[in-house]
Each structure stands twice: as structure tokens, then as C-alpha cells.
Amino acid sequence: MVEIEIPQKVFHSFEFIKKYEPIDESYMLQQVLLYGIHDLAQEMAVKLFSEEKITIGEAAKMADLSVGEMMELFTSRGIRSRITVNDFEEGLSNALDMFNE
């Protein structure tokens, strides 16, 4: 078990939500953490990819997204792909090899 101090602003949001949707505080906090860690993982993946510290595949794995979804996220943030023609051709070749086996 972990004890945390909930900021007043979050507490007020909890109270507001409970007013309209009577749910357990423990469950609500779990949901906040799940949504928060998902958003944080995406932000970190974008940051690390932008800094050229990880590949697009690693970023997608970190963000729990497909590579296509990750590319869409990068596009929405104005981040250009660093995939070269050689990278594309190698990926295509690997995919074709998998289907031919």
C-alpha cells in the first residue's frame, strides 16, 4: 500500500465527480493513475524520440501504441519521421520474407 497526499484541486475534482457519479474513491484514484501513466508514457515517448534517444518502435512500445498510431501522434505534434528510404525498403523486405516462409 502506498500513501499519497492528494492536492486540493484533485480532491475538489473527485468531489465534483462523485456528486454526479457515485463511485468509490479508491477506484477513481486507480482510474486517474491509469489515465495519467498512459498520457505520461506518450509524452515521454514523444520527447525521447524527438531527442533521437529511442526509435519509433521503442516509442510505440513505451506509449503502448502501434507504430502507425505512434506515427499519427508524431504527425499531430509536428514531428517529422526520420525513416529513410533504406529503412522502408528493409522493413518491406523483412515483411515479405515473413510471408514467404
Residue range 9-55, pLDDT digits in tens? 888 888 888 889 888 878 888 888 888 999 999 999 999 999 989 88
Q: Which three cell numbers stand for residue 36?
A: 495519467
The structure's pTM equals 0.66
Residue range 78-100, pLDDT digits in tens? 888 777 777 677 777 878 888 88
Which residues fall within 8 angstroms of residue 21, CB to CB, at 6 or more apart?
Answer: none
Residues 68, 57: Cα–Cα separation, whole Å: 10
Say what the pLDDT of residue 48 is.
94
Q: Comparing C-alpha atoms, which of 90, 94, 46, 48 is closest to residue 72?
A: 46
